[in-house]
Structure 1
Amino acid sequence: MAKSKPKIAIIGAGMGGLAGAATLRKVGIDVQVYEQAPKFARVGAGIQMLPNSSHVLRGIGVLDRLKKIAFEPYSHLNRVWDTGEIKRELPMPESLYGAPFLCMHRADLHEALYSVLPPEIVHLGKKLVGLDQKNGGVSLSFADGTKVEADAVIAADGVHSLVRELIVGPDAPLHKGRIAYRAVFDASLMNGGKIAPSRTKWWGVDRHIVIYYTAADRSSLYFVTSVPESADWMTAESWSAKGDVKELRAAYEGFHPEVQMVLNACPDCHKWAILEREPLPRWSDGRVALLGDACHPMTPYMAQGAATSIEDAAVLARCLEAVDNDDIEGAFRRYEANRKPRTSRIQAISSANTWMSGGNDDTTWLYGYDAWNIPLVGENDLAMAG
């Protein structure tokens, strides 16, 4: 008798939610996506897709599109803040890990993921207000008064996840006194100046800045920083708060001329608090599971937030493909068994902000990971894996 495939509702249409929809459809699972925003906006930020997430993007059919428009850095380059001395450089041709290292505008990645989905399965203006598990399914209630039924729910609703709160209770974010400035702007504002053809992280004593192009033609570039700031500045993880460019430039006074050139050309910027959360005790409850920032939010210092969400999507699809509608809970436990040890490790290293700061640590475990093909442990190995 043929297996009965579940009908799954995904909460959130960010990178993780759209990747989850794409990977689930790839294995023949019916999915609907519910997003609280009334429309998609082109938020001004760059994003790095390292080989570990590029493997997944290739599998869902968007990598070739992205390679045509994204900037492909020569290397993962780490330099001393003032002298420019190289602390560590890792050239990253596609042949190194079998997938490319790409830098792009976040909106370009989002649009690519959306492009492989039928638009009618993505429902905007749907703010979740409640979940009710009963009779082997889940009932979802939205702020507009509508309700839908699904066999299971995947919550990709981000760092402020309502579903996480319903599963594990409220958890307060940790503010460790760090804030970030960021901006995407036209490279022509540097008046002919050019930055290194790499993704460069400039390491200061108590702060850093990461700079890279976001387009294949090097017409635009992006930077993101981390600087100390009083813990009472802001507690909301807002990506839209405006920053003061003069304050930003003052924070990087004395940095290398290449950094100064970029900051002097920057017309405006955003500023937000870098908040953290401890790893969760569990990622699912019955027929409801968490994905991406909803279950393992992390600092941006390893460029693995969206990447690990995209990895989650591929592993979750593999776990669900192997079961019928009667064993969704087991599939969710197996997904957690395979993903939690890795994401917890990345969370910890990213929090410490030590990745590739020097030395010759092995990078294969991170960048060489292929979520489509890595052997999966069974759900009974959860305790051992954790």
Structure 2
Amino acid sequence: MKTPRIAIVGAGLGGACTASLLQKAGFHVDVFEQAPVFSRLGAGIHMGPNVMKIFRRMGIEDAAVDMGSKPDFWMSRDGVTGDYLSRIPLGEFALREYGAAYITIHRGDLHALQISTLQPGTLHFGKHLTNVVDDGSGIDLFFQDGARFRADIVIGADGINSCVREALLGPEKPNYSGWVAHRALIQGSDLKRFNAEFEPCVKWWTKDRHMMVYFTTSSRDEYYFVTGVPHPAWDFQGPSVPSSQEEMREAFAGYHPIVQTLIDCTTDISKWPLLNRNPLPLWSRGRMALLGDACHPMKPHMAQGGAMAIEDGAMLTRCLVETGLQDYTTAFKLYEANRRERASRVQGVSNANTWLRTPEDPAWVFAYDIYAEPLQSGMAA
């Protein structure tokens, strides 16, 4: 009797986490990633207690805590005056009240840690998906290099331009949000050249733009910023383009001297379009299901986009364990029923860019434990 197989398309944070959890649950899983190799590219990322509880199940919580920076507060400050708008306690408070740490970390370091948990030989690089065919009894995946793989179910974790989403719903370009994000990773040695106090986790705000800044390592030798700035149209080719100190100074003219000093520290800045999609009418069909940005992309303004993909993977694993792989139809219904409301709420708050700007209780996000929630009915809306 043939062993049932699960194929995951995309080995980013959501895909790698889902594969690891499914493998630990006893499923046979292969992961297909279009990048030719793994490299420490990317940017910083926040991992809240809601995700650290999932990492606990994966066996990587302690390593992630040791690797990342552990801010005591999320600070929000007025971009011009520097006045504090909110000081949200993290650190020991998060451990006590939310059940796990809050860390900021380099996305590449976290990704490598996740990949290290996968079974040898199950992650396949250089696999650019070109076609997906569901014949009712299984799914064939076709790749640009001529390779072909047959699976019992396919999970699309392949981002906002998901090929699996296209197979489910047809081709449709994502929407440009009207905003861009500038990104820069600054070495600690460059920070030390300036006599300024750089806080571990701070977001600088004015009415129509912001800059989020934080350390990405436990030694705090890397400092990262990401912005949100209005831009009338994305009129460039490719996923990003180079930016510059001059462009940053123009975008943040009038901002606090600490922000100006931070811009002075940069040597390599990129600019990325912030893309969105309208809510999808379905998250699965037949033998295919979606998660993360393939399913519910959002602006990064809440620092929960990666977290939602990881939560998706944990819930999908939980549902497949509940039903067994043979009853994947019920598992997919359970998955959507137990994820749509929370993912949509986070998506809405993130897109509105209001998260923690003023004092509020973030427990609905951070205290959430995906394993403690009772499974709701599989009758998804």
Q: Structure 1's 31 and 232: CA in aligned 2 closer, same or farther, altered over 3 A?
A: closer
Which AA in structure 2 matches 1:305?
G
The Cα of 1:235 is off from its aligned counterpart by 7.3
The answer to whether the aligner puts 1:207 opposite 2:206 as a matched pair is no
Contact kept in structure 1, 2:127 and 2:143, CA below 8 Å? yes
Q: 1:232 to 1:154 in 2, by over 3 A?
A: closer
What is the deviation of 1:259?
Answer: 1.2
Residue 76 of structure 1 corresponds to: 74
Q: Deviations over 1:200-243 (max 9, x none)?
A: 1111121100001111111110000011112143475x1x4211
Indicate the SS of the match to 1:120.
Answer: coil
Corresponding residue for residue 190 of structure 2: 189
Corresponding pairs, count: 376
Percent identity (aligned): 43
Which residue number in structure 1 is paired with residue 105 of structure 2? 104
1:345 equivalent in structure 2: 345
SS of 2:121's equivalent in the other structure is helix
Q: CA deviation at 1:159?
A: 0.8
* Of 246-255 and 206-215, the range deviating more from structure 2: 246-255
**In the aligned structure 1, how far is the partner of 2:367 from the partner of 2:327?**
31
Where in structure 2 are the equivalents of 1:250-269 lying within 5 Å?
Answer: 250-269=250-269
How much has 1:170 moved relative to structure 2? 2.3
Cα 1:195/1:108, change in 2 over 3 Å: farther
CA–CA separation in structure 2 for the residues paired with 1:232 and 1:303: 22
The aligned residue for residue 298 of structure 1 is 298
Aligned to 1:246: 246
AA partner of residue 337 (structure 1): A
- Cα RMSD of the aligned pairs, angstroms, is 1.6
**In structure 1, distance between residues paired with 2:237 and 2:230:** 14
CA distance in 1, matches of 2:106, 2:223: 9
CA displacement, residues 32-57 of structure 1 (integer Å, 9 cap, x when unaligned):
00111111122141111111111111
Name the structure 2 match of 1:228: 230
Q: Is 195-204 or 159-168 further displaced after alignment?
A: 195-204
- The letter of the residue matching 2:159 is G
Asked if the contact 1:234/1:273 (under 8 Å) is kept, the reply is no
Change (3 A) 1:293 1:195: farther
Q: Which residue of 2 aligns with 1:144?
A: 145
Alpha-carbon distance in 2 for matches of 1:5, 1:91: 48
2:330 paired with 1:330? yes
Corresponding letter in the other structure for 2:40: R
Query: Is the contact between residue 175 and residue 235 of structure 1 (CA under 8 Å) also seen in structure 2?
Result: no
CA distance in 1, matches of 2:318, 2:41: 31
> What residue is the counterpart of 1:377 in the other structure?
376
The offset of 1:5, in angstroms, is 7.7
Matching residue's letter, 1:371: I
Unaligned ranges ≥5, structure 2 = none
Please list the CA deviations of residues 273-292 of structure 1 after superposition, one character each: whole Å capped at 9, or x if unmatched: 11111111111011110011
Q: Residues 19 and 90 from structure 1, CA distance in 2 versus in 1: closer, same or farther, beyond 3 angstroms?
A: same
SS at match of 2:139: strand
1:12 aligns with 2:13: no
* Aligned residues of 1:11 and 1:34 also touching (Cα < 8 A): yes
Residue-by-residue CA offset, 1:255-299 (whole Å, 9 max, x unaligned):
112211211111120101111111111110111100111001110
TM-score w.r.t. the length of structure 1 is 0.93
Structure 1 residues not aligned, in runs of 5+: none
SS of the residue 1:350 aligns to: helix
CA distance 1:267–1:232, change in 2 (3 Å): closer
Decide whether the 8 Å contact of 1:11 with 1:33 is kept in 2.
yes
What TM-score does the superposition give when structure 2 sets the normalisation length? 0.95
Deviation (angstroms), 1:134: 2.2
How do residues 119-130 of structure 1 correspond to structure 2 at under 5 angstroms? 119-130=120-131
* 1:200–1:211 CA contact under 8 A, matched in 2: yes
Task: Show the counterpart of 1:363.
Answer: 362
Change (3 A) 1:5 1:342: farther
Paired with 2:160 and 2:60, the residues of 1 have a C-alpha distance of 25
Contact 2:161 / 2:174 at 8 angstroms: preserved in 1? no
Query: Displacement of 1:377 after TM fit?
Result: 0.6
